[in-house]
Every structure is written in structure tokens, then in C-alpha cells.
A and B are shown apart, each in its own frame.
Chain A
Amino acid sequence: MDFFLQLALNGVVVGSIYALVALGFVIIYKSSGVLNFAQGEFLLLGAYVFWALVEGRAPWPYAVALTVLFSILLGLAMERLILRPMIGEPIISVIMVTLGLSSMLRAIVLGAWGTDTRPYPALFASEPVFLGPLPVSRGYLFSMFVAALLLASFTLFFRYSRVGIAMRATAFSQEVAQSMGISVRRIFAVSWSIAAVVSALGGILLGELRGGADGSLAILGLKTLPVVILGGLDSIQGAIVGGLIVGVLENLAGGYLDPIMGGGVKEVAPFAVLVLILMIKPYGLFGKVKIERV
């Protein structure tokens, strides 16, 4: 039982970070209909920029703030330079341009920082806190707390703030939003910035959990695909619920099936589930039922 709870708890922690990255996917998809395959590279770049800033002796709150600023600029630049010329192009072109983008961003990280793991400074004391009988590391608790806080504030942002409402209006219908005086271009730019920021923060949290930044962080971008499909590509609460479910699921599958199957189940289990969801309920748990069936 303890083993089960431990796995589930790890799953919730990782899942909350997945939810954060998935939020980035959903925001971009919801407003502009683009699935950003470079999300994982936003995360990677954010994690490395944070590391470089901390290494450059910036106190970590400043480093976080500067990383956020960098991500905002990155998102704006990507939207303006690369995605805007793609408006109206077929899906394959849009998918491919984000894949090309991901190669470029990975190349930047590779060129600037190489392939070695860059260790993060330990921010928390190493002795665990006890939640009932379960030992939990402080870093895990902190990550979960921050992720929950961010998810809650973004949910509120979309529900009540002016920009958030404008974003939802744009997602509903671009023409109507435009005729109500909303600048659709600005909304696209804002969504790319938000996506870059949440990914970078997710990257920092993951780096903190794993003790450092390395190239394997980029794969997270693809691993969040099952999350957004499960939750529904255009649903924010779907991203949150999906993130938690996938996080728990992959940890349980890894914990129980790895000894039988010989490792690697954790990586493949979400994708097996993804295929099932696509066959049974392709619009996900909370997604809008508007997918064109063939």
C-alpha cells in the first residue's frame, strides 16, 4: 500500500508539471488552432536559461523573473517571425514549421551549453517531510505547490481578466472577436508568450526535481501530447485533469510493470493510452465535440 501511495504521489507531482506544460499546448491550440510541437524545446530553453542565470550568480528569484521575461520575448518572436506567415497554410505545413522550430531551438541549446547535465543548486534541505507515513521531499512539495498555484491563477485569468476573456472569445470565433474590437493578432502573440512562460516554469520545476537540466527535458513536449488528448485539446481544466491522470498512470505503470516487462513502460504507457482514447473518445474528456469524423 505504501508503495502504491508513493507512486501515486510522485505521479501527482510530475502530473502537475505535465498539466502546466499542457496548459501551454492548450492555450496555443485554443486561440490559433496550431499544435506546437516545439513546446518541449521552450521548456528545455527555459531550464537552461535559468541555469545560466543562476550560474551567473543571480539570486534565484531574479533568475526566475528574467527567465519569464526571456520566455515572453521568445514567444513573441516565434509568433511574429514564424507562425504568422503560416496563417491559412495546410495542417502539415504548420506541424512541420513547429518541428523545424524545435530543431532550431534544440540546436541553440546544444550549441550554447552542450550535452552535459547542468546541475541546479539545491534550494531545499534534503531531509524529507512526512505526509502521514509517506516521506516526501521538500522539492516535490514545492513543485506541486507552485504548479497548483500557477494553474489556479491561469484558470482565474482566463475566467475573469479582460485579456483572458478576449482570448476565449478569439477561440470561440475569430471573426466575431475581431468585430468586437479584439486584436486577434495580439491575442495570438499573448498566447504564444503564455505558452513559452508556462513551459519555461515547468522546465525550471523539472530541473529542480531532477537536480539539473539536460537534453532529455525536451522529450517532455511530446510526453504532454497524451495529456492534452486525454483532457481535450481545447480545454484548460482538461489539461489539468489529464496531466494528473497521466502522471499517476505512468508512475503506477512504471512501478508495477517495469519489473515484469523490463523497463521503459513508463515512457510508452501514456502513448498506449493515447491510442485507446483516440479510438474511443477522440475529443478527450472535456474537449469540444467538433472533430470532423471521416
Chain B
Amino acid sequence: MRSGDFRTSYEADMAVFDTAFARWLLAALVVVLLAFPLVGTSYWLDVFNRVGIAVIAALGLNILTGFTGQISLGNAAFLAVGAYTTAWLAGKGVPFIVAMYLSGLVSALVGMVFGIPSLRLKGLYLAIATLAAHFIVAFTVVHWESVTGGVNGISIEPARIGSLTFDNDQKLYYVILGAAIFHVWFAKNLFRTRMGKAFIAVRDHDISAEVMGVDVFKHKLYAFAVSSFFVGVAGSLLAYQARIISPENFPLGVAIDQLGMIIIGGLGSVLGSILGAAFITLLPEILRIVTGALAGRLPELVQLFAALKLGVFGLTIVLFLIFEPDGMAARWHRIKAYWKLYPFSY
């Protein structure tokens, strides 16, 4: 039961945690997450690592699309930029953390270049421009063989800090969990600063934002930069996790998956990015368990798995858009509000 949830000052209104209970709940969640590798199998650790990377990437996309209102279909491309930068830097012997953030920066730079059309375009047209960015980056990745290894891909040395080598899922889990927590914290606080609020103003009404003294173009470019930075970091972690990356890791489907994450989780919500990323990443796993359980009775299900995965993904997105357009985060807040007053909910 939550109680004490009333606000008497602006500070209280701005606080990240509105009650002490929320703070304890979060602490408990972190402890559970930290303890997970002690019980989890290698398979599920791998799944959770993918969730962690997806959380960072979805946060990045949500900063751009959910918070700033600039639709992007180019996320797979920015992910690829981050991953390939890491591969190249790691090949040159650059240490892990430095490589990760340099990849973020390079990705941010590329993101800003493709963000320039947002000066003149919005909505549908911007979505198409970022789609073009995807194809152009994909072409570059395949053809710039001296850096990217072309269609054969490129392999990456495992991440290393000092004498610690993060070469298995269990060790990587802590790195990815740490990075995910840091970026969630960063994003959550970004929207308490002037810049984050300017992003939201640009989304809600660009002309009003301009009138209020927000430099719209500058903030759109910032949004592209911050967003691509997050995605670039996610790409870097992906490179360290996958150890071999090739153009096949970054099809357009990845960008669509990530849009699906923020739609299902909730546009313009940090919590939504986390829930959506977890949901979309876990969906195929749950499906795998279900088809596995039914395989005895319906053996043809196993062959149909790829089709089923795609179909369930599409169906989930369509159903969410029709029945819960504000996403899981909104539903979560509604459930919370319901229990706050339980049993006198009216």
C-alpha cells in the first residue's frame, strides 16, 4: 500500500521517487537483478543481456521519438555505427570503456548529420529521410571492407578492464546491467534539466517552443545526438556481446523492433522504454517455450516458429495501438492509481 503521496512543494513534484516505498522497491529490484546470475542459466543470462542492450537502445529512440517527437526509422543504422566503431577501436587496442563511449560519440555525430533534414522536414517526411539513412549506412557497411570486413563481418576481442576479462555471459551481465542502470538514471534526469524540457516543448508544439525561447533546430539536433549516443553505446555493447558482427546483425527489422518497443512500452516514458524493451525481447522466448510445450501435440508448430514470431510481433503492435495507444507504462500508472485508493476506488 502506497501512502504519503501528496505534494506540498515544487521540489517534491520534481522528485524522481515520490515515496520512500518506491525507493525501497527499486533497491530491492536492483538486488534481485544483481543476484540473478547466481541462479540463472547461461541461456537466460544471454537473454537478459539482450534485454539490457535493448533497454539502452530503446531509451535512445524514445528520447528522439517519444520525447522530442522526431520519428526515426534509422535506429538499426546508428546501432551499426556504434558496433562497427567499437570493432575498429577494439582492433586498435583501445580499452573497453573508452571504446564504448567513443562509439557513442561517433554514433552521435552520424545521428546529427542525418538529423539535419529535420530542419526542414517533419512527421512522415522525416521518417522517410531516416529510412534513407538506414539504407545508405547499410550500403557503406557492406562496401567499406577495410574497416567493416564487408559481408563477412568482423570479430571483436572480449571487453577487458585491467586484468578482468568479460568473456562469458555471466561477467558481461554485470557490465550490461551497470550500463543499463547508468543510462536509465541519465535519461530520467535528462528530462529534469532545461534541455530535456526543451525537447518535450519541441514535441508538444514546435512554434510555441520557438516563441518561448527554445532554439528548435538546435534542440532537434541535440535530440538526434543524445539519442544516437545511447544507441551507439548499445551498439558497442552488442559488439562486445556478439563478438562477431556482420551486416546481418542490423537489418531494418531491428529499427522496427525498437519502434515497437517504445510504442508498446509507452512513448515519452523512461519506464515505458524499459518495459517495452523487456517485452519485445522476451516475446520470442516466451513463444519458444509455448511452442516447445505444444510440440508434442502440434509438431508442425516448430517449423512455423519464424512465421509465428513475426506474426505475433505484428499483431501485438497492432493490438496495442488500437487498445492501449499509451503503452504499458500508462497501464502501469493506472494500476498503481487503482491500488492507491483500494478498496475505495471512487
Residues of A within 8 A of B (CB): 35, 82, 85-86, 89, 91-93, 95-97, 99-108, 110-111, 222, 225-226, 229, 233, 261-262, 264-265, 267-268, 271-272, 274-275, 278-279, 282, 291-294
- Contact of A272 with B132 in the complex, beta carbons under 8 Å: yes
Tell me the minimal C-beta distance from B201 to chain A in angstroms: 14
Bound CA span A111–B119, Å: 43
- Contact of A93 with B131 in the complex, beta carbons under 8 Å: no
Tell me the minimal C-beta distance from B237 to chain A in angstroms: 25
CB closest chain-A residue, reference B311:
A107
- Contact of B121 with A294 in the complex, beta carbons under 8 Å: yes
- Contact of B143 with A107 in the complex, beta carbons under 8 Å: no
- Contact of A225 with B131 in the complex, beta carbons under 8 Å: yes
Residues on A with C-beta less than 8 A from B308 are 107, 111
- Contact of A102 with B314 in the complex, beta carbons under 8 Å: yes
Bound CA span A291–B123, Å: 10
Residues of B within 8 A of A (CB): 65, 71, 117-125, 127-129, 131-133, 135-136, 138-139, 142-143, 206, 216-217, 252, 256, 259-260, 263, 267, 304, 306-318, 321-322, 325
Bound CA span A67–B119, Å: 44
Say yes or no: A279-B117 contact (C-beta < 8 A), given A103-B256, A104-B318, A271-B132. Answer: yes
Which residue in A96, A275, A278 is a CB contact (below 8 Å) of B259? Answer: A96
- Contact of A275 with B132 in the complex, beta carbons under 8 Å: yes
Tell me the minimal C-beta distance from B229 to chain A in angstroms: 21
Residues on A with C-beta less than 8 A from B310 are 103-104, 106-107, 110
- Contacts A104-B311, A268-B138, A291-B121 aside, 11 further interface pairs with beta carbons under 8 A come to A82-B322, A86-B321, A92-B263, A95-B124, A107-B309, A264-B143, A272-B136, A275-B129, A275-B136, A278-B121, A294-B216
Bound CA span A150–B166, Å: 61
Which residue in A86, A108, A268, A278 is a CB contact (below 8 Å) of B128? Answer: A278
CB closest chain-B residue, reference A278:
B129
CB closest chain-A residue, reference B312:
A107
Which residue in A35, A92, A111 is a CB contact (below 8 Å) of B304? Answer: A111
CB closest chain-A residue, reference B128:
A225
Bound CA span A93–B327, Å: 11
- Contact of B139 with A91 in the complex, beta carbons under 8 Å: no
Bound CA span A99–B255, Å: 11
Which residue in B136, B307, B321 is a CB contact (below 8 Å) of A107? Answer: B307
Tell me the minimal C-beta distance from A262 to chain B in angstroms: 6
A-B contact pairs, 23 of them (CB 8 A): A85-B322, A91-B123, A92-B259, A92-B267, A95-B127, A97-B317, A97-B322, A100-B313, A101-B314, A101-B318, A103-B310, A105-B314, A106-B310, A107-B309, A108-B307, A111-B311, A222-B131, A229-B128, A271-B131, A272-B132, A278-B120, A294-B118, A294-B217
Residues on A with C-beta less than 8 A from B256 are 99, 103
**In terms of DSSP, what is the predominant structure of the interface of chain A?**
helix
CB closest chain-B residue, reference A223:
B135
CB closest chain-A residue, reference B306:
A110
* Most chain B CB atoms below 10 A, which of A89, A100, A271, A272: A100
CB closest chain-B residue, reference A35:
B124
Bound CA span A41–B306, Å: 17
Residues on B with C-beta less than 8 A from A100 are 260, 313-318, 321
Tell me the minimal C-beta distance from B257 to chain A in angstroms: 10
Residues on B with C-beta less than 8 A from A233 are 124
- Contact of B132 with A89 in the complex, beta carbons under 8 Å: no
Tell me the minimal C-beta distance from B262 to chain A in angstroms: 9
Bound CA span A35–B125, Å: 10
The 3 A-B pairs with the shortest beta carbon distances in the complex, nearest first, are A103-B314, A107-B311, A100-B317
Residues on A with C-beta less than 8 A from B127 are 35, 91, 95
- Contact of B311 with A103 in the complex, beta carbons under 8 Å: yes
Say yes or no: A96-B263 contact (C-beta < 8 A), given A102-B314, A104-B318. Answer: yes
- Contact of B267 with A292 in the complex, beta carbons under 8 Å: no
* Most chain A CB atoms below 10 A, which of B128, B252, B267: B128
Residues on A with C-beta less than 8 A from B315 are 100, 104
- Contact of A111 with B307 in the complex, beta carbons under 8 Å: yes
Residues on A with C-beta less than 8 A from B217 are 294
Tell me the minimal C-beta distance from A283 to chain B in angstroms: 9
- Contact of A268 with B139 in the complex, beta carbons under 8 Å: yes
Residues on B with C-beta less than 8 A from A261 are 143
CB closest chain-A residue, reference B118:
A294
Tell me the minimal C-beta distance from A152 to chain B in angstroms: 28
Tell me the minimal C-beta distance from B268 to chain A in angstroms: 11
Tell me the minimal C-beta distance from B44 to chain A in angstroms: 26
Residues on A with C-beta less than 8 A from B263 are 92-93, 96
Residues on A with C-beta less than 8 A from B307 are 107-108, 110-111
Bound CA span A37–B118, Å: 21
Which residue in B119, B143, B322 is a CB contact (below 8 Å) of A294? Answer: B119
Bound CA span A97–B314, Å: 8
CB closest chain-A residue, reference B123:
A91
* Most chain A CB atoms below 10 A, which of B124, B132, B133, B252: B132
* Most chain B CB atoms below 10 A, which of A110, A261, A293: A110
